[in-house]
A = this chain, B = another copy of it.
Amino acid sequence: MVMSGLAGLPNPPYYAVIFSSRRTEVGDGYGVTATQMVELAARQPGFLGVESARDVNLGITVSYWRDEESIRNWRRNVEHIAAQERGRADWYEAYEVRVAKVERAYGFQR
């Protein structure tokens, strides 16, 4: 079970995949597949954590990975490829993916 909320991560460096998307009106199967993909990602080698938020304008999911190889492997996962194809066919109006190397991090906790 992947927690929703802030991801607890090791110290940098590590990688972030920023997935920003606008949805279509088509909702069929989206929620189930989105949950499955998070659970599946969490079982991949090199997965460190994930954070996600969606409102009426935009959804942003940031997944965190140990290295670029982990990201490449996840991108080529067969179930993930099927979900990506369904996403382009049905669920997403547009999306942008940015792959970034996290160099520093800091936080605040009340």
Which residues of A pack against B, CB within 8 Å? 4-7, 9, 12, 16, 18, 20-22, 24, 51-55, 57-60, 62, 88, 92-110
Question: Are B103 and A107 neighbours in the complex by a CB distance under 8 Å?
Answer: no
State the main secondary structure of chain A at its contact with B: strand
Assuming the contacts A16-B18, A93-B110, asked whether A5 and B103 have C-beta atoms less than 8 A apart, the reply is no
Residues of B within 8 A of A92 (CB): 108, 110
Residues of B within 8 A of A102 (CB): 18, 98-100
Question: Are B94 and A6 neighbours in the complex by a CB distance under 8 Å?
Answer: yes
Question: Are B20 and A62 neighbours in the complex by a CB distance under 8 Å?
Answer: yes
28 contacts between A and B (CB under 8 A): A4-B58, A5-B58, A6-B22, A6-B58, A6-B94, A9-B96, A12-B98, A16-B98, A16-B100, A18-B102, A51-B60, A53-B53, A53-B58, A53-B59, A88-B108, A92-B108, A92-B110, A94-B108, A95-B107, A96-B105, A96-B106, A96-B107, A97-B106, A98-B104, A98-B105, A99-B102, A100-B100, A100-B103
